[in-house]
Chains A and B, each alone.
Chain A
């Protein structure tokens, strides 16, 4: 037992210390977060200080003061002559304005039509800038119209409040559907993560064993420890590397969500203060996004992560022992590759099943796939957001770890013989003989 711990330690430390591990663990999620932030910035604040010219041909807005955006992202200028402005805009060197708003002479407050905004600059207007311009105009039109109809400010506020109440009724529904969406998304992400981790770390085990064989250190090692100790030590050590990486990713995501949510959250709350329909033509719904984020925030991650680790580790032990056996049986890398296929296949099939199962998380396929040890490591954690019954989870865990013990016994036989074989191409028939040979 002590020797297994020493082996685990070596397998773990030599890998965690590697530069490649540091890079994939820290830089990959940082890159991802940076990418998300960057895309939000791009759509949100495509550029600041938009100069907007307002040409009021109708004269309705003469007395109205258009307030600039508080953060200075939009600055209004009242201009008189459209032709002049248009001419000026055509001079590429002297682009005074980014957009021109022309209010036609026949503009009627009682029957407001859409006002054209001509974008002049090459850089398109950001979502926020558009929303701000829309809001400003809607507010002003409403104010003027209210004046015309002799509606007091209180009455106007009263109306807005009504609208606000109807929002609340809607938001419960949104929250529910948001949870379902998150369920599928999470299921997919989890299944995908386990799939990738199994493939990456399974291959790592196989390579590790092949390396020990081609390094010719194997026989030195097995004169000190039992082959099964060597095999389990390697699998557990590399599995621990995988879990370390996963946990670090989760921590980084948790930290990252503090960075991302305020950015998105700030904007959505900013947008929400607008009257209904304030953003037109935008293809996202501010409320929905905020609800999704809220649901994400309220989600109980701890049990999910716990189940994920149990299943990842179980699946990893099971597939890991098979990968180790293949590594031991194969003489060189090309040899191993052809032997790997029968192991890769169930992992790939499980992933295909995953797509199907997320659509029908309570179906028969989902049940069976979550119980069979070869697919359960991918399917069961993916089903967790859909609250499967507890007996299903427990039975699945039991079968997975039972399956691992059987696989490990089988793999150990192949491993023990394979590691001492050199210069001979291994066939499946040969492996079969090793399994059934005594000792």
Chain B
């Protein structure tokens, strides 16, 4: 079951293409990374999912139904450009945002109390937003995003400007929500940040989808049979003839093998060299992205 499914989404601003025939699915309960450099069209896609703007063509399905107005109550969105009313009191502000998601006044109060206690900012209820530290404001912002218990959580550059403690807090919270079956979309240009968090990703560039899929599968797909081996002893001269050596340094060799069989290990065993460590080097999302963009763009291919 897909929480969200986009098919052939097109969006143009005048002559500028923000989204060109983008299609992808987000399975229920997945942590989904929407990755790409600045200006790739991530925010445009998000705004179409949150019904802030509308696609020129294409279809968006939410839990299998065409996306409608009332679905916005089941989506929590933390935009990249985020802020709060500076002069409003924390408690009132959270109640207000909760009520705009169609929570009743009493329900909103219960949940605001719960989250404020959970994030240990209970004693700040009657303070104005502007009196809060940056970190606390970010907590409030996050509470506002999850207060209505959304099925789909969209976080645009969630870690930008976040201190490590709050980043960890939010990361833990995200795993928690995943456990409860919620779907989370991460949008960021800093791919290394979400590499371990995401189950599935979408890579986009200049409004075009580059690729999408499960992170583990993509890594397999883009791997170059690179291995790293740490050893104790001396390599024979024949080693560099037998294997495509990338680097060798401080008792660690990185080599590329034609196949993924154990030829490399066999060499070490045959030559009686102690192996301390052996592992496959999978490409990082960054590397995958760069490679995929190069493959997709005819302008860069010639170079």
Contact = CB atoms under 8 A, between A and B. Distances in A.
Interface of A: 2-3, 6-7, 10, 14, 211-212, 215-217, 219-227, 420, 422, 433, 439
A220 B14 contact: no
22 contacts: A3-B100, A6-B99, A7-B100, A14-B87, A217-B82, A219-B52, A220-B77, A220-B82, A220-B83, A220-B84, A220-B144, A221-B100, A222-B52, A223-B50, A223-B72, A225-B100, A420-B47, A420-B53, A433-B14, A439-B53, A439-B54, A439-B56
A217 B75 contact: no
A219 B81 contact: yes
Interface string B82-107: 11111110000000110111100000
A315 to B, nearest CB: 28
Contact of B86 (A2, A215, A420): A215
A247 B199 CA distance: 60
Contacts of B101: 224
B85 A217 contact: yes
Contacts of A226: 69
A10 B98 CA distance: 13
B79 interface: yes
A220 B102 contact: no
Contacts of B14: 433
Contacts of A216: 79, 81-83
A6 B69 CA distance: 17
A219 B79 contact: yes
Contacts of B99: 6
Nearest to A226: B69
A2 B85 contact: no
A436 B101 CA distance: 31
Contacts of A217: 82-85
Nearest to A6: B99
Contacts of A10: 96
Interface of B is mostly: loop
Contact of B97 (A222, A224, A422): A224
A222 B46 CA distance: 12
Contacts of B84: 215, 217, 220
A222 B83 CA distance: 13
Interface residues of B, number: 31
Contacts of A420: 47, 52-53
The 3 closest A-B pairs by CB, nearest first: A216-B83, A219-B79, A223-B77
Contacts of B72: 223-224
A6 B100 contact: yes
Contacts of B51: 223
A86 B101 CA distance: 87
Contacts of B53: 420, 439
Contacts of B54: 439
A188 to B, nearest CB: 37
Given A220-B97, A439-B54, A215 B83 contact: yes
A220 B72 CA distance: 12
Contacts of B78: 220
A215 B52 CA distance: 18
Q: Which has the most chain B C-beta neighbours within 10 Å: A10, A211, A215, A219?
A: A219
B102 A3 contact: yes
Contacts of A433: 14
Contacts of A439: 53-54, 56
A220 B96 contact: no
A223 B75 contact: yes
Contacts of B96: 6, 10
A223 B52 CA distance: 6
A18 to B, nearest CB: 9
B88 A14 contact: yes
Contact of B81 (A6, A227, A422): A422
Interface string B49-63: 011111010000000
Given A6-B96, A6-B99, A420-B52, A220 B86 contact: no
Contacts of A215: 83-86
Interface string B28-54: 000000000000000000010011111
A422 B84 CA distance: 17
Given A7-B100, A222-B50, A222-B52, 17 more contacts: A2-B102, A215-B84, A216-B81, A216-B82, A217-B84, A219-B79, A219-B82, A220-B79, A220-B83, A221-B100, A224-B72, A224-B73, A224-B97, A224-B100, A224-B101, A226-B69, A420-B52
B219 to A, nearest CB: 33
B60 to A, nearest CB: 14
Contacts of B69: 226
A360 to B, nearest CB: 48
A219 B82 CA distance: 7
Nearest to B52: A222
Q: Which has the most chain B C-beta neighbours within 10 Å: A2, A222, A226?
A: A222
A264 B102 CA distance: 57
Interface in B1-44: 14
Contacts of B83: 215-217, 220
B109 to A, nearest CB: 14
A298 B199 CA distance: 79
Nearest to B86: A215
A227 B47 CA distance: 13
A220 B54 CA distance: 17
Contacts of B97: 220, 224
A217 B140 CA distance: 13
A7 B85 CA distance: 13
Nearest to B101: A224
A10 B99 CA distance: 11
A220 B75 CA distance: 11
A398 B104 CA distance: 37
Contacts of A225: 100
A11 to B, nearest CB: 11
Contacts of A219: 52, 77, 79, 81-82
Contacts of B77: 219-220, 223
A156 to B, nearest CB: 74
Nearest to A233: B100
B14 to A, nearest CB: 7
